[in-house]
Amino acid sequence: MHNPYMNTMPNVNIGSIGDGSRCIKELRGILAIKNGRVYIINERERPTVIIERNRLFPIGTFIPYNFSNLTDVPIPSESIDLVVCYMGLHHLPQDQLDIYLKMIYFYIVNIMHMKN
C-alpha cells in the first residue's frame, strides 16, 4: 500500500529485529521507501519465513544474533536509518529487556548528537 500523501524516500536502510523480515515489504510501501539495505537480525533463519514474508528469495542480509548474550550487532556504525522490532522483543530474556532497550536508546542518542 503506497501512501499518496508521503514523499518517496529513495534510500532507507532498515534493521529488522527478530521477525524474519515479514513486515518489510508492507513497511516499504507504507513509508514509500524505494531502495536501501535490509538487515534481518534474528537467532536463526527458518524456512517458514518464506511463507511469512510471502516471498521466495531473501529480502535482506541475514545477521545471526544470540539474544541471550547482548553484544554489538555486526553491522557497520551509522548504516541503519530505521529499526523495526515488529515481533522481536519476545526473543529476549525478560530480565535483560530493560538493558536491551537502554542500549538502543544510547545508540540513538549518540547518533543524533554526532549528526548535530
- Domains of the chain: residue spans and CATH: 9-108 (3.40.50.150)
Residue 9 scores a pLDDT above 60: yes
Enter the pTM of the model.
0.69
Q: What is the pLDDT at residue 13?
A: 92
Q: What is the pLDDT at residue 37?
A: 93
Q: What is the pLDDT at residue 111?
A: 61
**Contact call for residues 14 and 60 (beta carbons, < 8 A):** yes
Segment 50-68 shows an average pLDDT of: 81
CA distance 86 to 17: 7
Cα–Cα nearest to 17, from 95, 97, 110: 97
DSSP state of 47: T
CA distance 71 to 56: 30
Residue 1 scores a pLDDT above 60: no
Cell numbers placing 23 = 513486515
Residue 29 scores a pLDDT above 60: yes
Segment 68-72 shows an average pLDDT of: 75
